[in-house]
Amino acid sequence: MIHFFHVSKVYEKGNRALHEVNVSIGKGEFAFLTGPSGAGKTTFLKLIFREELPSYGRVVANNQNTIALKKHQIPDFRKKIGVVFQDFKLLENRTVFENIVFILKVLGYPASFLRDRAFYVLKLVGLQHRYNDYPRQLSGGEQQRIAIARALVNEPLILLADEPTGNLDPDLSLEIMALFEKINSRGTTVLIATHDREMIKQMRKRTLYLDHGHLQEHRK
Amino acid sequence: MKLFIDFGFYIREGWANFTRSGMLSLFSILIISISIAVITLFSTVFFNVDHYLKNMKQNPVYSIFLTSDTTVKEGKDLSLYLETLKGVSDVKLVLPDEGMKKLAKRFPLAGEIQKSLEENPLPLSIRLRINTAAAATIKQALKPYTIVESIYSPHFFLSELESISSAVSFFIALIAAILVLASVFTIFNVIRITILARQNDIAIMQLVGADMKYIRAPFAVEGTLQGLSGGILGALFGSGLISVIRAHYLTRFQYLPFLSRITSLPLSYFAGIILLSIAMGLFASTLAASRIDYV
Ligand SMILES: Nc1ncnc2c1ncn2[C@@H]1O[C@H](COP(=O)(O)OP(=O)(O)O)[C@@H](O)[C@H]1O
Ligand SMILES: [Mg+2]
């Protein structure tokens, strides 16, 4: 489902974020990506949904080589990948409900589907009662859950989450993890970037360890 | 059905953009409405000149001068008779005093000359419009009337007027083209600024996989709305301006009948001008929106 072949990423200023990364994550897998801050976790995720392109090597997701994608193919490629961004990326001037419905809309979903689906995912993250609030009226943890709800809303084949529990207290973190496991059990490939070692220990899943752009594998 | 729903989405989002852009939208609308007002003004002049010339050609104004010993009664009788003829309209008997007044208005010197004369030297005359096709038969019908001194027709200077009019219409078209370009340029840049202002939202939409049409089309709608409102305001402003000009200035030029009787544009012209404005908005904003690149 996700393959990195000899991937290196060097940013414009010469920052080397990833170095010779080779890894495969299979369909339906649940994996963690961990490592200290600045290790390259976010870069790794960005390469998967083609926010960034590799400087060397190839990234293949959903059987598509991201470098070979034509511009006009990018939207359809990204539709199959749900992303929980580290900085949430919610639309500031739209309500919680609109944030989710709007995204479904611009992904091309039929109108009849929108409302029910939006409330369904809001219930999953336990925030259906905040549907009419604006993002700035929510706490960091609540915004994070909205970002999670949005990533789930179109049942993606791959779910990428960048520090999705960074703003949540431990109980809520576990609930969200349980939600990710539930999504995973329906066949979605899940990859979660986190530096929360406690959680990784508890979850007992495949873990990829990044350090200064070098990837090592830990299986438990 | 899907297309229909999508269209509703573009309109709603475009309207939201339009209202959110506030001052920028107003600026764009201001520029468009000034351009459209000027275009309306010039179109009105063009329309009236054109109308006047056509009328002059088809039904030119003739003056029939009567012999100096003709009585007013005889003049009236002839006028009545003329009115019964086919192809004749707007018959008016001009008494010598009136004729002199008109002349004096046009050429102040004539008034001075008249004052120094004992008597009014002008004879009775009849002003009337004669359809060009009927002119020959009417002249024939006037043959037996010995009180007819001479018949004056304005044909000779029509061709001159026509060449002036075609120069004027070229000039008007040139100005209109410049105004259209200026409006398109303004709308294009205003939409580019609003795109820049919403760069964040656009990037988010792209990162989650939104189709470009949903991102671009609302901006095209926004520009079209600017064109529509600028067009309507400009047309209203332009025709208001014409009423004011007509009421305050043109009434002074009574001897130039087409200036004092200038009419507003027919509705079909207004529709055309507003459509032009909408087209400018649609074109400029589509151009600006098409430059949103994939991230
Ligand atoms: N857009 C960018 N331009 C330049 N350097 C970047 C950019 N994004 C990340 N980096 C650098 O790449 C390295 C890895 O960053 P990142 O992938 O965000 O790590 P993590 O998510 O593990 O904290 C860091 O040294 C960071 O400064
Ligand atoms: Mg990061």
Same domain as B173, residue B145: no
Question: Considering only A67-71, B159-163, B235-239, which range has the smallest mean pLDDT?
Answer: B159-163
pLDDT higher than 50, residue B134: yes
Give residue B89's identity as a one-letter amino acid code. Answer: S
- Amino acid A106: pLDDT: 84
Asked whether residue B222 is domain-assigned, the answer is yes
Same domain as B260, residue B191: yes
Answer with the residue of higher pLDDT: A44 or A14: A44
Which CATH number does the domain housing residue B95 bear?
A: 3.30.70.3040
How many CB atoms are located within 10 Å of the residue A47 CB?
25
- Amino acid A220: pLDDT: 44
**Mean pLDDT value of segment B267-281:** 95
- Amino acid A219: pLDDT: 52
Share of chain B above pLDDT 70, in %: 92
- Amino acid B235: pLDDT: 96
Q: Find which of A101, A106, A115 to mutate to test the B interface (most B CBs within 10 Å of its CB).
A: A106
Same domain as B50, residue B130: no
pLDDT higher than 70, residue B254: no
- Amino acid A66: pLDDT: 96
Same domain as B46, residue B170: yes
pLDDT higher than 70, residue A90: yes
- Amino acid B114: pLDDT: 66
- Which residue has 């001194």 as its token pair? B149
Measuring from atom 24 of ligand 1, which residue has the nearest CA? Answer: A38
Asked whether residue B86 is domain-assigned, the answer is yes
- Amino acid B258: pLDDT: 64
Q: Flag if A85 and B207 touch (Cβ within 8 Å).
A: yes
Same domain as B284, residue B171: yes
Same domain as B178, residue B284: yes
Asked whether residue B294 is domain-assigned, the answer is no
pLDDT averaged over every residue in chain A? 92
Same domain as B258, residue B168: yes
Same domain as B105, residue B39: no
Segment A18-24 long-range contacts (CB within 8 Å, at least 24 positions apart): A18/A43, A18/A44, A18/A47, A18/A54, A18/A210, A18/A213, A18/A215, A19/A212, A19/A213, A19/A214, A20/A57, A20/A214, A21/A57, A21/A213, A21/A214, A21/A215, A22/A215, A23/A208, A23/A215, A23/A217
pLDDT higher than 90, residue A158: yes
Would you place residue B100 in the very low, low, confident or very high pLDDT band (cuts 50, 70, 90)?
Answer: confident
Asked whether residue B111 is domain-assigned, the answer is yes
Answer with the residue of higher pLDDT: A166 or A192: A192
Kindly report the backbone phi and psi dihedral angles of residue A32, in degrees, each rounded to the nearest multiple of 5, phi listed first. -105, 150
**Mean pLDDT value of segment B275-292:** 97
Chain B residue numbers with beta carbons less than 8 Å from the beta carbon of A106 are 205, 208, 210-211, 214-215
DSSP state of B256: S
Asked whether residue B74 is domain-assigned, the answer is yes
Chain B residue numbers with beta carbons less than 8 Å from the beta carbon of A78 are 206-209
Task: Give the pLDDT confidence of A178-191 residue by residue, as tens digits.
Answer: 889 999 999 999 99
Same domain as B235, residue B173: yes
Asked whether residue B295 is domain-assigned, the answer is no
- Amino acid B176: pLDDT: 93
- Amino acid A130: pLDDT: 94
Which protein residues touch ligand 1 with a CB less than 6 Å away?
A: A 11, 13, 15, 17, 35, 37-43
Same domain as B147, residue B127: yes
Same domain as B194, residue B265: yes
Asked whether residue B252 is domain-assigned, the answer is yes
Residues with beta carbon < 5 A to ion ligand 2? A 42
Share of chain A above pLDDT 70, in %: 99
Q: Is A153 helix (H, G, I), strand (E, B) or coil?
A: coil
For residue B74, the Cα-to-chain-centroid distance in whole angstroms is 42
- Which among B5, B205, B206 has the least Cβ separation from residue A111? B5
How many CB atoms are located within 10 Å of the residue A162 CB?
22
Give residue B207's identity as a one-letter amino acid code. Answer: L
Task: Give the pLDDT confidence of A128-153 residue by residue, as tens digits.
Answer: 999 999 999 999 889 999 999 999 99
- Are the CB atoms for B195 and B202 separated by under 8 Å? yes
Chain B residue numbers with beta carbons less than 8 Å from the beta carbon of A108 are 211, 214
Chain A's closest residue to B211, CA to CA, is A75
**The last residue of a domain, from among B153, B171, B190:** B153
Task: Give the pLDDT confidence of B135-167 residue by residue, as tens digits.
Answer: 888 888 888 888 888 888 766 566 777 787 788
**The last residue of a domain, from among B104, B120, B153:** B153
- Amino acid B255: pLDDT: 63
Same domain as B250, residue B165: yes
pLDDT averaged over every residue in chain B? 87
Asked whether residue B186 is domain-assigned, the answer is yes
Task: Give the pLDDT confidence of B30-83 residue by residue, as tens digits.
Answer: 999 999 999 999 999 888 888 888 887 888 888 899 988 888 898 898 999 988
**The last residue of a domain, from among B92, B120, B153:** B153
Question: Considering only B52-56, B86-90, B237-241, which range has the smallest mean pLDDT?
Answer: B52-56
Question: Considering only A9-13, A204-208, B168-172, which range has the smallest mean pLDDT?
Answer: B168-172
Containing structural domain, residue B139: 61-153
